Amino acid sequence: MLQSLKRLMFAVLLGTVVAPMAQAAERSINIGWTAWSDAEAVTRLVKTILERRMGYQVKLTLADIALQYNGIARRDLDVMLMSWLPDTHADYLKRVGDDVVNLGVLYTGARLGWVVPEYVPRDQISSIEDLRKPAVRDKLRGRVQGIDPGAGLMRVSKNAVEAYGLDDYELVSASGAGMTAALARAVRRHRWIVVTGWSPHWMFGAWKLRYLNDPKGSLGGLERIHAIARKGFYRDHPDAAAMIARLWIPLGDLEAMMYAAQGTSYQDAVEAYIEANGKRIAYWVTGKL
């Protein structure tokens, strides 16, 4: 009798512990992200909404972009919010396309390119083709400052090096932060530099910059940024999937948020945006206008 009572009490106690743990697991989402300015802004925006408005626990997993696609396909990750289509990430998506689900467009008007400070004379560099000039190469020290090696931007930049015959240039890998740090140093010293860039990015609010013309189209055209989820995500978390599917942010709003984050933090910038855009956020969450 005493043993039976102990077993009953243990079962009750176990139930009180396991049930909340199971419920917490059911309301947990793992989002893959990359340390790019736009990725951090959008990812923290989604995380904050899911946690504050929808009761989810959200884990952010920092990973190379290629690993994120693989993680979504293997169901190690639930969502990624940085799929550049139709060109930049086409190869990544082709490899895993049957194992992921596209939740829709988050923002439009994005682009990739090679960027120089505005003080670099246009009559000397207006196009990527101009980098072949010996005098220009000397001023640039034969370097194009890139970002992390797994990024789609680096893949197409390697294509540009080949297409424009820039074999005597070094495409330097670094993090996104490393790229902007190199740009900041060059601007302070009024030195020539070419960096691999993209829009949206806060650097266009910080400095006067311009894209180099790309007559061969090696770096692609305008892009749309999509949310990609693992198969079964919509079934497991229908409200979260619907919220992300409804989310669309104007490019200007995103760039303003990213620039504001440089003076405070991405979390502060996200919370300010949510506070200033209550009706928009409410629609994303509920689907009601």
The parent domain of residue 239 ranges over: 27-109+222-286
| 98 & 178 share domain | no
112 beta partners: 198
CA 56 to the chain's CA centroid: 21
Return the structure tokens found at 211. Answer: 């894209």
| 247 & 157 share domain | no
Q: Give, as one character, the DSSP assignment of residue 106.
A: E
CA torsion through residues 282, 228, 44, 197, sign: negative
| 143 & 175 share domain | yes
Please name which of 159, 166, 143 lies closest in space to residue 216, comparing C-alpha atoms.
Answer: 159
Judged by DSSP in three states, 6 sits in helix
Judged by DSSP in three states, 126 sits in coil
CATH label of the domain that carries residue 72: 3.40.190.10
| 139 & 104 share domain | no
Please name which of 37, 33, 48, 35 lies closest in space to residue 271, comparing C-alpha atoms.
Answer: 48
| 90 & 104 share domain | yes
CATH label of the domain that carries residue 159: 3.40.190.100
pLDDT of residue 25: 55
- Cα→Cα distances 122→3, 133, 206, 218, Å: 87, 14, 20, 21
| 148 & 186 share domain | yes
Give pLDDT tens digits for 55-96: 999 999 999 999 999 999 999 999 999 999 998 899 999 999
Q: How far apart are CA 36 and CA 17, in angstroms?
A: 39
pLDDT of residue 289: 86
Q: Are 115 and 212 in contact (CB under 8 A)?
A: yes
Q: How confident is the prediction along the chain (289 residues), in pLDDT tens digits per residue?
A: 545 544 545 444 445 544 444 454 579 999 999 988 899 999 999 999 999 999 999 999 999 999 999 999 999 999 999 999 998 899 999 999 899 999 999 999 899 999 999 999 999 999 999 999 999 999 999 999 999 998 889 999 999 999 999 999 999 999 989 999 999 999 999 999 999 999 999 998 889 999 999 999 999 888 999 999 999 999 999 999 999 999 999 998 999 999 999 999 999 999 999 999 999 999 999 999 8
Q: Which of 211, 241, 264 is the last residue of a domain?
A: 211
Q: How far apart are CA 246 and CA 196, in angstroms?
A: 31
| 119 & 100 share domain | no
Amino acid, res. 269? A
Tell me how many domains the chain contains: 2
pTM of the model: 0.76
Q: Is residue 120 part of a domain?
A: yes
Q: Which of 187, 211, 235 is the last residue of a domain?
A: 211
| 44 & 66 share domain | yes
CA torsion through residues 217, 143, 115, 110, sign: positive
Q: What is the dihedral of CA 111, 115, 121, 126, to 10 degrees?
A: -50
